[in-house]
Amino acid sequence: MAPNEQRPVSVGLFVTCLVDTQRPSVGFAAVRLLEAAGCTVSVPRQTCCGQPAFNSGDRTTTRALAEQMIAAFETFDYVVAPSGSCAGMIRTHYPELFVGEPDWMPRVERFCAKVHELVSFLADVRGVTHVTAAYDGTVTYHDSCSGLRELGIQAQPRRLLASVEGLTVAEMPDSDVCCGFGGTFCVKYPDVSNAIVEKKAANILASGADTLLAGDLGCLMNMAGKLQREGRTIRVRHVAEVLAGIGDTPPIGQPKPQSVEGRKS
Question: Do the beta carbons of residue 95 and residue 105 sit within 8 Å?
Answer: yes
Name the residue among 258, 262, 239, 232 with its Cα closest to residue 250: 262
Question: Do the beta carbons of residue 90 and residue 117 sit within 8 Å?
Answer: no
Between residues 43 and 169, which has the closer beta carbon with respect to other proteins? 43
* Alpha-carbon gap, residue 186 to 55, rounded angstroms: 13
Region 29-58 residues binding other proteins, contact defined as CB under 8 A: 42-48, 50, 52-58
Between residues 208 and 257, which has the closer beta carbon with respect to other proteins? 257
**Smallest distance from other proteins to CB 256, Å:** 7
**Smallest distance from other proteins to CB 127, Å:** 27
Between residues 124 and 150, which has the closer beta carbon with respect to other proteins? 150
**Smallest distance from other proteins to CB 136, Å:** 21
Starting at the earlier edge strand, list the strands of the sheet with 115-117: 39-42, 9-13, 78-81, 115-117
Region 191-230 residues binding other proteins, contact defined as CB under 8 A: 191-197, 199, 221-222, 224-226, 228-229
Region 80-119 residues binding other proteins, contact defined as CB under 8 A: none
**Smallest distance from other proteins to CB 159, Å:** 22
Question: Do the beta carbons of residue 209 and residue 234 sit within 8 Å?
Answer: yes
